[in-house]
Amino acid sequence: MKKVLMVCLGNICRSPLAEGILQSKIKKDAVFVDSAGTAAYHIGNLPDKRSIEVAHKYGIDITRQRARKFTVKDFDTFDVIYALDESNYQNILILARNEEDTKKVKMILNETHPHKNLSVPDPYYDGQQGFENVFKMLGEACEIIASKL
């Protein structure tokens, strides 16, 4: 089974949406999707209520998710690790042990904008519109990811 990990900073705003959206676009028994954060601030917490709200609006339930921190073991578990922004990307790569680990790490928006290394903006200090914007970007990226799985 192919395993895909979505990684942002807190694992409460962006990567829970990426996990839920990709999960909604694939057959559950064909791909394992998970998410994590590079920071420990929110370990054990539910996704941010604004992420829960925007996902719910589009028919996706992310309330079973709980935040966890990315660990070096994730390189062993997952086939592809999508960083949601440039700083997450750097913080994941710091932990890579070898070339094989490094090759698993990709910027998620390179799926929609190849080679541009664009970041999904951190919506934490924004209103609901910021979360709508993130949902739309991730919807487009996950559509492409799902089509390739």
Query: Is 14 one of the catalytic residues?
Result: yes
Select 4 or 13, whichever has its Cβ closest to ligand 4NP. 13
What is the chain's Cα-based Rg?
14
Residue 4's alpha-carbon distances to 76, 111, 122, 126, 128, in angstroms, are 12, 14, 21, 27, 27
Kindly state the smallest distance separating residue 83's Cβ from ligand 4NP, in Å: 11
- Pick from 4, 5, 6, 12: which binds ligand 4NP (CB under 6 A)? 12
Amino acid identity of residue 64, one-letter, is R
Select 99 or 127, whichever has its Cβ closest to ligand 4NP. 127
Contact 137, 120 (CB under 8 A): yes
Select 127 or 148, whichever has its Cβ closest to ligand 4NP. 127
Q: How far apart are CA 15 and CA 13, in angstroms?
A: 6
Contact 82, 107 (CB under 8 A): yes
Kindly state the smallest distance separating residue 80's Cβ from ligand 4NP, in Å: 19
Span from 4-12, 24-32, 71-79, 107-115 in contact with ligand 4NP (CB under 6 A): 4-12
Q: Which of residues 71-130 bind ligand 4NP (CB under 6 A)?
A: 122, 124
Intra-chain end-to-end CA distance of the chain, in Å: 10
Q: Which of residues 40-79 bind ligand 4NP (CB under 6 A)?
A: 41
